[in-house]
Amino acid sequence: MAPLLALGLAACLAGCSPVTALNVLARAGDHTVTAGVAYGPGPRQQLDVYRPAGPAPSDGWPMVVFFYGGSWNSGARADYAFVGQALASRGIVALVADYRLYPQVRYPGFLQDCAAALAWALERSRALGADPRRVHVMGHSAGAYNAAMLAMDARWLAATGHAPAELAGFIGLAGPYDFLPSGNPDVQPVFFHPAVPPGAQPVEWAGPATPRSFLGAARSDALVDPQRNTVALATRLQAAGVPVMLRLYDGVNHVTLAGALARPLRWLAPVLDDVASFVQAPATAPQASAMQATAAAGGPARAQVQP
């Protein structure tokens, strides 16, 4: 039964259809949700807020702003309710945001939306019961690209009056960080193939100012090469002195890596445990440099790889 459920999830996520079973099976009593909150004027500039049940701790919960994938062509925040539910069940305020897609926008329009959503979260963290020192940006697949660009390329948050230094961390799952030019016909027009704009890949922006990072991927990802993307980015960030936690998971693929966050599929891989552990780490000053954060952790940053 479990393999059949995993297969069904893969089909749902690959088609960006509502993963109804996963959302229904999430425990209702461990979170509250406020849906359809506007962070901008457009119909796709909305987000859902998942808060842990009960009163917030005196210093606030940590917060994660999550962006889903779909090749910048498809996706809807309602399909990823299981992500918000999973994080809230671990004592994390989670925001799952929509953003404009192709053909309504091309690069960098979706990054501008994501930056606006993240700025909204930074400015309202205390009102949501979150600790402003522990705001993280997270994404899966194309959403991990979006999150990485916000965390590494300061242009996008600067346009909202914010900066990557305000973030407590970046979390990328199966992200395409070094993938252009792409042979994918869905992706090509998004990035103006073959005239790809300079500076459009996260790997170009990896440096010491990047927040501490969690990079996870399926060891056998047939869609986004984990060595060229996840491992290579982790190596580059580590060389720049950024604290990096790298996890390569067996038993999952590009799609079920995200599905493993959902209650019925957590047996596939400990993705939720690892992400929650990263997010729940003690808060540090938002403006601390990567080297300061590394020293506080007790030594040079080292990429940690799951056997």
Structurally, how many domains does the chain consist of? 1
Task: Give residue 15's pLDDT.
Answer: 45
Task: Give residue 31's pLDDT.
Answer: 92
Instruction: Kindly report the pTM of this predicted structure.
Output: 0.87
DSSP string, 119-138: HHHHHHTTTTTEEEEEEEEE
Give which of 61, 64, 214 is closest to 135, Cα–Cα. Answer: 64
Range of the domain at 163: 2-296
Q: If you ran DSSP here, which 8-state letter would residue 198 be given?
A: T
Within-domain flag for 306: no
Within-domain flag for 265: yes
Pairing of strands 244-249, 213-218: parallel
Within-domain flag for 292: yes
Instruction: Identify the helix (H) or strand (E) that includes residue 216.
Output: strand 213-218
Q: If you ran DSSP here, which 8-state letter would residue 165 be given?
A: G
Task: Give residue 30's pLDDT.
Answer: 83
Within-domain flag for 64: yes
Within-domain flag for 150: yes
Q: Which stretches in the chain have pLDDT values below 50?
A: 1-2, 4-5, 7, 11-12, 14-18, 287-307
Within-domain flag for 285: yes
- Phi, psi dihedrals of residue 57, rounded to the nearest 5°: -65, 165
Domain with residue 149: its CATH number is 3.40.50.1820
Task: Give residue 296's pLDDT.
Answer: 33
Task: Give residue 25's pLDDT.
Answer: 57
Within-domain flag for 266: yes
Residue 43 corresponds to which tokens in the numbers above?
């119909």
Within-domain flag for 303: no
